[in-house]
Amino acid sequence: MTPHGARAGEDAEDLDVEEVLALVKNSNGNHLPDPAARGETDSARTPDRPDPAARPGTRHRATPWPEARALAERAGRNATRAARRAPVSAPLDTALGLTLAAPLDALTDLPSFDTSAMDGWAVCGPAPWHVRDEGVLAGHAAPAPLTDGEAVRIATGARIPPDTSAVLRSEHGRTDDKGRLYATRDVVPGQDIRPRGQECRTGDQLLAVGTLVTPAVLGLAAAAGYDTVTAVARARAEVLVLGDELLTQGLPHDGLIRDALGPMLPPWLRALGAEVTAVRRVRDDADTLHEAITTSDADVILTTGGTAAGPVDHVHPVLRRIGAELLVDGVNVRPGHPMLLARTAETQHLVGLPGNPLAAVSGLLTLAEPLLRILAARPAPDPYTMPLRDAVHGHPHDTRLVPVVLRGDEAVPLHYNGPAMLRGIAAADALAVVPPGGARPGQETELLDLPWASGGIGVCFT
Ligand SMILES: Nc1nc2c(c(=O)[nH]1)N[C@H]1C(S)=C(S)[C@@H](COP(=O)(O)OP(=O)(O)OC[C@H]3O[C@@H](n4cnc5c(N)ncnc54)[C@H](O)[C@@H]3O)O[C@H]1N2
Ligand code: MOO
């Protein structure tokens, strides 16, 4: 039993992040093999045993795409274990997208009092009824008991007076010229009364640990008496945008281009469950990058650009300088093959996204998504496939990620899918995972949902 689990009282069932993870489905099973479960391979070393080929001056081998994702998950599990982050008590207006770290137990009966389900009259005994002068409204003082033959006007949500036999809907009653009330249809005892505790009793478990906080969960939590929920803390992510050629406003000119990643990454990272602590622009200078990385207190640093071997590609040299452990150094995926994942400190990771914008998206979904999903204790989405409408050329050895739109039962590959282009992905519903060698028309192909297209938490760009 953990220290959290051993606590007495109302916190007794709070779990730390690792325990929450154990309760959610955090792997795609065979689809994303855990290298630890299969034994290491040259191309997928574990974080505990770095790939010796990744040392300075030696050649490295890129990691197959599914294994890169599994390594990123594994990095998330190791960081979670090492950090032992305590659950947070999150006010409801900040909790959207978090994962519950304690069960949501009802703090009250719901409804918490017998309440009218309809506008009409609370009646006692058989008709006709004498109607009281003063009605009962929702949120008002406790009404006096009814006596036999008495009725009182009542609003939906108002407290039922003691000794009420039923509520008669306003459309089912009529009054005669003496003011007596009659029913125009049978009155069944208890009708249109919501009895106290109909939905739950105090202490009933409404939602289990591991539940994603959706808008509906926020509503239920509020109804059940919560001001805050106990949840897994958001991972803190910092974005370092590298590149002297980048403009933050206006038209491209004189060889300068607009920074497409600074605006794109923060909301996407939030949709993946992270808190974005800063977006910093870092000039193409190794010392500046070194300073930015070594002074960051984020759980996950994301760099953009500088992953290749050009004259100002400083990411590898700086990682070597700080003694970071390269867990993934290149992935057999197009676009984005220079992406990398490094452990910069026991509980801190760096995801190096290539600078080409669609390559950066590829790195985001290949490395950042699994890492952040584990840190957020979110379950892995169920893998799914659809047939491709058109053939897609494959890379001879690498997986390709190709933007598609979903039309009926088919995925339609989009053009403008080059590594430097966002035109395809901006119109896309998903990315198709095209295996080495390509895919023919009608071939069932795995799809990765994009946060704005899936029905789940993805819609929550909190
Ligand atoms: N000799 C080789 N050169 C390159 C290789 C290679 O294998 N051998 N790989 C290419 C591939 S593939 C990619 S992807 C890129 C990766 O490059 P970097 O991660 O080093 O990125 P940069 O060189 O800094 O930039 C590449 C490209 O992207 C533009 N960029 C960068 N940041 C942004 C941004 N925030 N918004 C918009 N565009 C951005 C940058 O201007 C460059 O055009 O390397 C290839 N080269
Ligand atoms: O891998 Mo690069 O991303 O092809 O452009």
Give distance in angstroms: CA of 357 to centre of ligand 1.
Answer: 8
Half-sphere exposure of 365 (CA within 13 A, CB side): 26
Closest listed ligand to the CA of 337: 2
Domain CATH code at residue 155: 2.170.190.11
Q: Let me know whether 290 and 337 are in one domain.
A: yes
Q: Cβ(150) to ligand 1 under 6 A?
A: no
Going by alpha carbons, the residue nearest to atom 1 of ligand 2 is: 336
- CA dihedral 65→68→73→76, nearest 10 degrees, is -150
User: Ligand 2 pocket: which residues have CB below 6 Å?
Assistant: 334-337, 354, 356, 359, 419
Q: Cβ(257) to ligand 1 under 6 A?
A: yes
Q: Let me know whether 283 and 358 are in one domain.
A: yes
Mind giving me the DSSP string for 182-220? Answer: EESS---TTTTEE-TTSSB-TT-EEE-TT-B--HHHHHH
Q: Residue 215 belongs to what domain range?
A: 90-108+199-231
The distance in angstroms from the start CA to the end CA of the chain is: 34
With a threshold of 0.90, tell me whether the complex ipTM lies above it. yes
Going by alpha carbons, the residue nearest to atom 5 of ligand 2 is: 419
Rounded CA separation 160/182 (Å)? 19
Q: Let me know whether 149 and 247 are in one domain.
A: no
Closest listed ligand to the CA of 395: 2
156-174: pLDDT as tens digits: 999 999 999 999 999 999 9
Q: Let me know whether 153 and 284 are in one domain.
A: no
DSSP reduced 3-state for 273:
coil
Q: How many domains does the chain have?
A: 4
What pLDDT score does 21 carry? Answer: 55
Cβ-Cβ contacts under 8 Å for 8 (sequence gap 6 or more):
none
What pLDDT score does 303 carry? Answer: 98
* pTM as predicted: 0.85
Q: Let me know whether 182 and 217 are in one domain.
A: no
DSSP reduced 3-state for 141:
coil
Q: Cβ(261) to ligand 1 under 6 A?
A: yes
Domain CATH code at residue 390: 2.40.340.10
Q: Cβ(266) to ligand 1 under 6 A?
A: no
- CA dihedral 52→56→58→63, nearest 10 degrees, is 60
Rounded CA separation 367/360 (Å)? 10
Domain termination residue (choose one: 194, 220, 250): 194
The beta-carbon contacts of 247-251 under 8 Å, at least 24 apart in sequence, are 248/281
For the CA of 419, the nearest atom of ligand 2: 5
Cβ-Cβ contacts under 8 Å for 375 (sequence gap 6 or more):
17, 76, 79, 80, 235, 273, 274, 299, 300
Alpha helices in 355-414 (DSSP H): 357-363, 369-375
Q: Let me know whether 259 and 334 are in one domain.
A: yes
Going by alpha carbons, the residue nearest to atom 40 of ligand 1 is: 355
Domain termination residue (choose one: 311, 343, 375): 375
Rounded CA separation 292/289 (Å)? 5
Do the beta carbons of residue 182 and residue 170 sit within 8 Å? no
Rounded CA separation 328/339 (Å)? 8
Q: Let me know whether 274 and 369 are in one domain.
A: yes
Residues 182-195 as b/e (b if ≥16 CB within 10 A, e otherwise) read: ebeeebeeebbbbe
Q: Let me know whether 362 and 280 are in one domain.
A: yes
CB atoms within 10 A of CB 384: 11
Q: Let me know whether 242 and 368 are in one domain.
A: yes
367-415: pLDDT as tens digits: 999 999 999 999 999 999 999 999 999 999 999 999 999 999 999 999 9
Q: Cβ(337) to ligand 1 under 6 A?
A: yes
Q: Let me know whether 326 and 356 are in one domain.
A: yes
Residues 343-378 as b/e (b if ≥16 CB within 10 A, e otherwise) read: bbbebbbbbbbbbbbbbbbbbbbbbbbbbbbbbbbb
Do the beta carbons of residue 179 and residue 168 sit within 8 Å? no
Domain CATH code at residue 80: 3.40.980.10
Give distance in angstroms: CA of 289 to centre of ligand 1.
Answer: 17
Rounded CA separation 429/408 (Å)? 12
Domain termination residue (choose one: 231, 248, 277): 231
In terms of Cβ atoms closer than 10 Å to its own Cβ (0-12, 13-18, 19+), residue 426 is exposed
Closest listed ligand to the CA of 361: 2
Q: What is the CA radius of gyration of the chain?
A: 29
What pLDDT score does 462 carry? Answer: 56
Per-residue pLDDT tens digits of the chain, which is 462 residues long: 333 333 333 333 445 555 655 555 433 333 333 333 333 333 333 333 344 334 344 446 899 999 999 999 999 999 999 999 899 999 999 999 999 999 999 999 999 999 999 999 999 999 999 999 999 888 888 899 999 999 999 999 999 999 999 999 999 999 999 989 999 999 999 999 999 999 999 999 999 999 999 999 999 999 999 999 999 999 999 999 999 999 999 999 999 999 999 999 999 999 999 999 999 999 999 999 999 999 999 999 999 999 998 888 999 999 999 999 999 999 999 999 999 999 999 999 999 999 999 999 999 999 999 999 999 999 999 999 999 999 999 999 999 999 999 999 999 999 999 999 999 999 999 999 999 999 999 999 999 999 887 655 444 555
Instruction: Tell me 320's DSSP state.
Output: H
Q: Let me know whether 80 and 94 are in one domain.
A: no
Pairing mode, strands 150-154 and 430-434: unpaired
Q: Let me know whether 420 and 316 are in one domain.
A: no
Domain CATH code at residue 104: 3.90.105.10
Q: Cβ(354) to ligand 1 under 6 A?
A: yes
What pLDDT score does 312 carry? Answer: 87
Do the beta carbons of residue 369 and residue 427 sit within 8 Å? no
